[in-house]
Amino acid sequence: KSTVGRIVAAQMGWTFEDSDLLHSTADVAKMMSGVPLTDADRWPWLRTVAAWIDQQIAAGKGGVVACSALKRSYRDFLQEGRPDLRIVLLEVDQATLSARLTGRHDHFFPIKLLKSQLAALEMPTPDEHVLVVPAAGTPAAMASKIIDGLGLVPHSPGSPGDP
Please give the pLDDT value at position 38: 86
Name the strand (E) or helix (H) holding 44: helix 39-58
How far apart, in whole angstroms, are the C-alpha atoms of residue 141 and residue 135?
A: 9
Backbone angles phi, psi at 45, to 5 degrees: -65, -45
How far apart, in whole angstroms, are the C-alpha atoms of residue 156 and residue 13?
A: 8
Neighbours of 85 (CB within 10 A): 16
Residue range 30-52: mean pLDDT, rounded? 89
Per-residue pLDDT band at 29 (split at 50, 70, 90):
confident
Please give the pLDDT value at position 161: 45
How many percent of the chain have pLDDT more than 90?
52
Asked if the model's pLDDT at residue 96 lies above 80, the reply is no
The pTM of this model reads 0.82
91 pairs with which residues across the strands? 134
How far apart, in whole angstroms, are the C-alpha atoms of residue 41 and residue 23?
A: 9
Q: Which residues contact 6 (CB under 8 A, 6 or more apart)?
A: 16, 64
Q: 103-155: per-residue pLDDT in tens?
A: 555 545 555 566 767 777 898 999 999 999 988 889 899 999 999 999 999 88
Please give the pLDDT value at position 162: 45
* DSSP assignment letter at 91: E
Residue range 53-69: mean pLDDT, rounded? 95
DSSP SS3 for 88: strand
State the chain's mean pLDDT as an integer: 85
**Which of 139, 135, 142 shows the shortest CA–CA distance to 92?**
135
